[in-house]
Amino acid sequence: MQSSVIRLGLDTWRARLGVGAFSLLLALPLQGARADEAGVSFWLPGQFGSLAAAPQTPGWSLGAVYFHTSVHASGGVAAARQIEIGGVPATAGVSLDTKLHSRADLLLLAPTYTFDTPVLGGQLAVSMSGIFGRNSTSIDGTLTAAVGPIVAGRTREISDAVTSFGDLYPMATLKWQDGVHNWMVYGTGDIPVGDYDSTRLSNLGLGHGAIDSGGGYTYLNQKTGREFSAVAGLTYNFKNPDTQYRSGIDFHVDWGASQFLNEHVFVGLVGYVYQQLTPDTGQHPILGSFESRVVGIGPQIGYIFPIGKSQGYLNLKGYTEFDAANRPSGWNTWLTFSISGAPTASN
């Protein structure tokens, strides 16, 4: 098809390149940088951090998280063919370079109930999280065609934004404590009821269901003031009924390390590793098999304080991402506040 378009002549090619075709071409090369459908995974790296497996105060608690992220990606495709113009050999080619930028500001609310009665010798807690916020995305693309010495190009920007509600995320955790050692198993998933439209660049809903489970460990020593936590899990994604696209199985590790400066304040580092284990299915054949990956690391500060008979917990952490593959990358920050469901230190 490319050779026939080129033979029409440069002026005819430029006239026939419509907005719809250009928009389609803009989307194609970025898919290679956006494994997990639209570059968005169910698991948001950084969800867990310090004190993840530490026990909580029984009863109701409420957690609120303000999450900000800014990511980008780029990609390109090119095709060339040898042709003849008036019996003279020449090269005809088409190339497309694209850049994506996305920004999100989200508020996550997570009411949680922690049972006082032990379950399997551990502490059971259940929660339901919801999201409200804004997500904006833009794609800049430059399409260039060359026939011998004649070169022509066209640039276009596509942008989209949405402010609405996201999906619902139920979660259950079961925690055990033995002195300074704390263990946890968890299960969570995605109920796809959020604002989603497969024709938009920006969405707050995922468009498909997912389940995720894993386990974690926290070392928490009140005498030394040292803490370390790590949580690992796997995500299984269901097929998106609107696009017939299924994201692959994802593996993730979130970790945090901190030092208490006194009984209320701690500082430290946080990080995550995200790796897609199996390829997506349902993507365009020219994209082949790919898996996404990203690593993040950054600082944190936490503050534990009394609120009447309850306890409050405030944490600020930020991540810079690197070693990304087939996934947009950038930086993100988390500001977390919770009341009553605070961790308790061990001796």
Query: Would you say residue 328 lies in a domain?
Result: yes
**Closest Cα partner for 247 from 101, 46, 24, 31?**
31
How far is it, in rounded angstroms, from Cα 319 to Cα 325? 17
Rounded to 5 degrees, what angle do the CA atoms 93, 99, 105 make? 160
Half-sphere exposure of 15 (CA within 13 A, CB side): 5
Mean pLDDT of 61-65: 94
Higher pLDDT, 310 or 4: 310
Q: What CATH number should be reported for the domain holding residue 50?
A: 2.40.160.40
Q: Tell me, what's the pLDDT at 32?
A: 45
- Which residue segment(s) compose the domain that 289 sits in? 40-73+101-137+160-339
Q: Tell me, what's the pLDDT at 329?
A: 87
Mean pLDDT of 47-73: 92
Query: Would you say residue 81 lies in a domain?
Result: no
Mean pLDDT of 34-51: 83
Query: Would you say residue 11 lies in a domain?
Result: no
How far is it, in rounded angstroms, from Cα 270 to Cα 274? 14
Percent of all residues in the chain with a pLDDT value above 70, rounded to a whole number: 76
Structure tokens that stand for 96 in this block: 């497309």
Query: Would you say residue 225 lies in a domain?
Result: yes
Residue 236, pLDDT > 80, answer yes
Query: Would you say residue 223 lies in a domain?
Result: yes
Mean pLDDT of 155-184: 93
Residue 18, pLDDT > 60, answer no
pLDDT digits (tens, 9 = 90+) for 205-227: 999 999 999 999 999 998 999 99
Residue 91 in contact with residue 146, Cβ under 8 Å?
A: yes
Residue 135 in contact with residue 167, Cβ under 8 Å?
A: no
CB atoms within 10 A of CB 186: 20
Q: Name the band, by pLDDT with cuts 50, 70 and 90, for residue 174.
A: very high
Structure tokens that stand for 297 in this block: 């690391």
Q: What is the mean pLDDT of the chain?
A: 83
Query: Would you say residue 325 lies in a domain?
Result: yes
Mean pLDDT of 151-158: 75
Q: Name the band, by pLDDT with cuts 50, 70 and 90, for residue 177.
A: very high
Q: Tell me, what's the pLDDT at 83?
A: 63
Query: Would you say residue 269 lies in a domain?
Result: yes
Count of domains for the chain: 1
- Note the pTM of the prediction, 2 decimals: 0.80
Half-sphere exposure of 17 (CA within 13 A, CB side): 25
Query: Would you say residue 32 lies in a domain?
Result: no
